[in-house]
Amino acid sequence: MSASLAFVFPGQGSQSLGMLAELGAEHPVVLETFKEASDALGYDLWALTQQGPEEQLNQTDKTQPAILTASIALWRLWLAQGGERPAYVAGHSLGEYSALVAAGSLSLGDAVKLVETRGKLMQEAVPAGQGAMAAILGLEDADVLAACAEAGQGEVVSAVNFNSPGQVVIAGAKAAVERAIEGCKARGAKRAMPLPVSVPSHCELMRPAAERFAESVAAINWQAPQIPVVQNVSAAVPADLETLKRDLLEQLYKPVRWVESVQTLAAKGATNLVECGPGKVLAGLNKRCAEGVSTSNLNTPDAFAAARAALA
């Protein structure tokens, strides 16, 4: 184990058609991991990620298992190639489930079924077209919070992802989000743009989904994580398994405190981060969250080889 190493797992938005194709062709462990997930889900997840249709891959109940499985395939490949085990793991939103699988807290089969259910419940909580999310760039957190408070007018709108300094995502009822976008622009935001998502994640509208999801979380045989997990809701390592499960449920309707999570890792000495998943969304965010943090990626054969070399 390396004390300075932490693995971070991405959330929704990292998926793409054909992801991990080259690594899958070179390393049997990638296809074996997808087969394990497919057996649990009852459909061919690898075929969906490689051939689409893309609209189906982008449905949240398909996206979540796909990203989680891709992330765990890369995690297993890293260990199989003799990569060091990290001192900490963390994940952005959905990525927290990938982190928990890597930490040995739940099995891949349980995890993919759990996040499939999570996706369905999120979609059912707010009918399509009624919720919205938007990215606000170049504005202080306090100004975003003020714009949301002003825009609410009895409807839900709140800051839900603190992704990096000057990048905050808001979510809520569609009209309230539109008012908040205007409020953020009026306060000097560089950009305030709606995101192409079907579900307003991490806001109060998701509380009913969390209440229904509690049953699924309770039904799983959880283990204490073998690697400490920094959670989204607290930006801290939970004291025990009950706290971990509670925070996992609250994560559905409370903000993702990513900036503070990366700062927590850095404060614990973990400044070499590895983004373990398709894409490289987190690498761009992490460097702005804390001083002296660097992030390697594993999403292509070249990136994987470079990360192995850099961290050997």
SS3 269: coil
Q: Is 93 a catalytic site residue?
A: yes
Among the options 98, 105, 201, 202, which is catalytic? 202
Q: Could you say which of 93, 98, 164, 201 is catalytic?
A: 93
User: What size, in residues, is the chain?
Assistant: 312
Could you give the dihedral angle defined by the CA atoms of residues 192, 140, 11 and 90, in that order, rounded to the nearest 10 degrees? Answer: 180
Tokens of 100: 């928990």
Helices 108-125, 60-80: inter-axial angle, 10-degree rounding: 150
167-200 burial string, b = 16+ CB within 10 Å, else e? bbbbbbbbebbbbbbebbeebebeebeeeebbbb
Q: Is 27 a residue of the active site?
A: no
Whether the ω angle into residue 196 lies within 30 degrees of 0, i.e. cis, is no
Catalytically active residues are 93, 202
